[in-house]
Amino acid sequence: MSYDKNFGNDPGPRQSTVGQLFLRDLERLWTELLRMSAVVENALRHSVDIMVHQRTDLTNNVIDDERLVDRWEVRIEEKCLTILALHQPVASDLRRVAAVLKLNSMLERLSDLASHIAVRARKWNDSINRPPLGPEFEELAMGCLALLSDSMDALARHDAAAARALLQGPRYAAIERLRNTVRKQMKQAIRENIDNFDSALRVINIVRNFKRVAEHALEIAVEVVYLKEGVILRHRSQRQIDLDDVD
């Protein structure tokens, strides 16, 4: 994934509150955050490969990446706190550091989701009784990965217009429809053969995890708009999220 090395440092005129040392430290922080995002995105792609292409050999890689990201998250948080203490940024500079803290936490949660999907996918592959997956499952998984990839690209390019397009577009709704379809397929498989229960339940949990991936992708897009424009968006109401979770 390409990124703008000047992300977090708007080229337009602005009053610097902390000077060149702050800008240097912030640029390094953003570079590290984007490196971590690439690891997280790759782990999620591996988790899909485990499920769709039976690449169970990748499971330990995803688990190792989760542990790496856990340590990375702590390190980035510590660096953010150091920047706050040393430079005491205000206004847009403070907004950038606050955004790093939020994005750092989102990436850690995405890494956790990748690990959960990978472990469940390996167990599903090892199951004797497992219902077949329809094409909707792979379409859902790839749709979530594409949404995340596009939000990461918007983040790297500091592209608020692209982020707004993701938030206003129909892609999340399509993902939710696919999740409902897969869930219905698995419930039907259980009704037809109770021996399918464990493996079908794993699939239901996996598609729920993918839904969380899509939600985090939109949350990243919200942060891009906040960083660029200083506008706080709420792409979905909590009530709507709660309604989506009703099975």
Among 220, 99, 232, which residue's Cα sits nearest to residue 154? 220
Q: What is the pTM of this model?
A: 0.84
pLDDT of residue 245: 52
Among 69, 81, 153, 79, which residue's Cα sits nearest to residue 105? 69
Answer whether 69's CB lies under 8 Å from 107's CB: yes
With helix as H, strand as E and coil as C, how does 41-108 read?
Answer: HHHHHHHHHHHHCCCHHHHHHHHHHHHHHHHHHHHHHHHHHHHHHHHCCCHHHHHHHHHHHHHHHHHH
Rounded to 10 deg, the angle between the 197-229 and 91-126 helix axes is 170
pLDDT of residue 228: 86
* 10-residue stretch averages of pLDDT, the chain, 247 residues long: 48 52 85 94 96 94 96 94 84 84 95 96 91 94 96 93 93 95 96 94 96 96 89 57 47
Answer whether 173's CB lies under 8 Å from 102's CB: no
pLDDT of residue 2: 45
Q: 15-126: which CATH topology? A: Methane Monooxygenase Hydroxylase; Chain G, domain 1 (1.20.58)
CA distance 223 to 133: 35
Show the beta-strand stretches assigned E in 131-241.
Answer: none
For residue 50 the two structure tokens come to: 């485990």
Q: 130-247: which CATH topology? A: Methane Monooxygenase Hydroxylase; Chain G, domain 1 (1.20.58)
* CA gyration radius, the chain: 20
Fold agreement (15-126, 130-247): yes
Among 200, 232, 36, 29, which residue's Cα sits nearest to residue 129? 200
pLDDT of residue 24: 85
For the chain, which residues make up each domain, given as ranges?
15-126, 130-247
Answer whether 154's CB lies under 8 Å from 166's CB: yes
CA distances from 237 to 161, 172, 197, 234, 241 (A): 21, 14, 33, 7, 7
